[in-house]
Structure 1
Amino acid sequence: MRILICEDSVLLREGLIRLLEDAGHLVVDALSEDTDVMDVVARHEPELLIMDVRLPPTYSDEGIRAALKVRQQRPDLPLLVLSQYVEERYATELVVAHAESLGYLLKDRVTDVTEFLETLEQIRQGATVLDPEVVAQLLTRRQHDHRMQSLTDRERTVLAAIAEGKTNQAIAKLLHLSEASVEKYTSSIFTKLGLEADGEGNRRVLATLAHLENTSQGRTTP
């Protein structure tokens, strides 16, 4: 896979390069800031972009804003956002704008190399993978919505797990349930939220988030 990295931390940037190249991927470029990311994308045509949220010069939201710009201009380019914190407002915009081939992971929670590499491949193939903390905060914003309030604690747990990209089998193992029980919870969740189940778990959850965002009376300021 051809991968472009945009990460200001030298240690993390070089670590990612070594990790990806050892796994057989080609790092077409590794940037320390976002100033020319679109030019580099056009020049190298990467198959995946890994973008840090906070980049020079202010180390606030340059990276995530650049990610949104990339999604607007190149929605076909798979994107993985790495962050130290959940930038809730921007995460919502990314999800609502174009959820496919999207990942948002917190750096400190990436602890398994094999799982990380598998996540990259899932994103390249069109999946959407969100860190559980990202999912939790996005769902929390919508607690005022009566549909979200109608979910049981177990259904919320299943919903968050689906959003992480977990299969019914994986959720069953995680929660010590049968796959049939997970299917029943999933069906109940989408019935309560007024959505039809389409067989693609993580995208269904992202559709839910987008649906609740678009039909709520107004956004809550983070």
Structure 2
Amino acid sequence: MRVVIAEDLVLLRQSIARLLAQHGIEVVAETGDAGGLVDAVVEHRPDLVIADVRMPPTFTDEGARAVMLLRERYPGLAVVVLSHIVEPVLALRLAADRPARFGYLLKDRVLELTEFVAVVRRVAAGGTAIDRQVIDHYLVGTGLSAREREVLGLLAQGLTNLAIARRLAVSERTVDSHLGSIFVKLGLPPGGEHNRRVQAALLWLRSQS
């Protein structure tokens, strides 16, 4: 896997690069601004980009806009977006209609080293990972039970049914049952299991935007 990192905080950028290298992931370029991110992707054609939402010069949404441009130009590019704060509407805007190969994490998650690397690999392989704090921020009011919200939050992080079952100390069959109820309550039709999982993780965001 070949990765480009765009992060204006030098220590964080270098730490991520070292972490990935330790796990056999090649970092082909590092940059501290959105323009450098676009240039690096054009030059190196990486498999995945890790990008801060807010970068110089205004520290508003330069990184987000660069990511949207790159996803449009290179549909197969995987992206993990990092943010200091919970911004669910922005997460939805970035995921748009192509939530595959997309991750949205709070920067604190980088400190969870093993999980962060797992998210990078999962997104690169075509998965979706949305930070659990973003999920928790808006799940109340969806009509889901507390347990269903918990299951949906874990699903949105990209966990498999078995991983969810282990995390909650329940059977995989129980998780299957909860997911069936979630899909019904969110109005997701049968068929296309992976797509339903992704859409279930994003529908609540759409309802709040």
What is the TM-score of this pair, normalised by structure 1?
0.85
CA contact (8 A) 1:83 1:107 kept: yes
Distance 2:19 2:204 in 1: 38
Do structure 1's residue 208 and structure 2's residue 208 form an aligned pair?
A: no
Q: Which amino acid aligns with 1:109?
A: R
Secondary structure of residue in 1 paired with 2:35: coil
Say which is worse superposed, 50-59 or 63-72, in terms of deviation: 63-72
Secondary structure of residue in 2 paired with 1:97: coil
CA contact (8 A) 1:3 1:28 kept: yes
Q: Which amino acid aligns with 2:88?
A: E
Distance 1:174 1:197 in 2: 26
The Cα of 1:210 is off from its aligned counterpart by 5.1
User: Cα deviations across residues 85-139 of structure 1 (Å, max 9, x unaligned)?
Assistant: 1222211112223200011111113333222222211111100011101222354
Distance 1:12 1:193 in 2: 38
Distance 2:53 2:99 in 1: 17
User: Cα deviations across residues 41-87 of structure 1 (Å, max 9, x unaligned)?
Assistant: 12111111010111001112211122122222222100000111122
Map 1:152-191 → 2, pairs under 5 A: 152-191=145-184
Do structure 1's residue 126 and structure 2's residue 119 form an aligned pair?
A: no
Shift of the 131–48 alpha-carbon distance from structure 1 to 2, 3 Å rule, reads same
CA contact (8 A) 2:152 2:201 kept: no
Q: CA RMSD in A?
A: 2.1
Give the paired residue count: 208
Secondary structure of residue in 2 paired with 1:79: strand
Q: Which amino acid aligns with 1:165?
A: G
Distance 2:158 2:70 in 1: 23
- Residue ranges of structure 2 left out of the alignment (5+ in a row): none
Distance 1:99 1:204 in 2: 11
Secondary structure of residue in 2 paired with 1:75: coil
Shift of the 77–88 alpha-carbon distance from structure 1 to 2, 3 Å rule, reads same
Distance 1:48 1:164 in 2: 18
Report what 1:47 is aligned to.
47
CA contact (8 A) 1:5 1:13 kept: yes
Do structure 1's residue 111 and structure 2's residue 105 form an aligned pair?
A: no
CA contact (8 A) 1:71 1:98 kept: no
Shift of the 24–210 alpha-carbon distance from structure 1 to 2, 3 Å rule, reads closer
CA contact (8 A) 2:88 2:205 kept: no
- Residue ranges of structure 1 left out of the alignment (5+ in a row): none
CA contact (8 A) 2:50 2:79 kept: yes
Q: Which amino acid aligns with 2:42?
A: A
Distance 1:39 1:109 in 2: 27
Shift of the 110–39 alpha-carbon distance from structure 1 to 2, 3 Å rule, reads closer
Q: Which amino acid aligns with 1:20?
A: L
What is the TM-score of this pair, normalised by structure 2?
0.89
The sequence identity of aligned pairs, in percent, is 40
Shift of the 209–165 alpha-carbon distance from structure 1 to 2, 3 Å rule, reads closer
Report what 1:17 is aligned to.
17
Do structure 1's residue 95 and structure 2's residue 95 form an aligned pair?
A: yes
CA contact (8 A) 1:138 1:209 kept: no
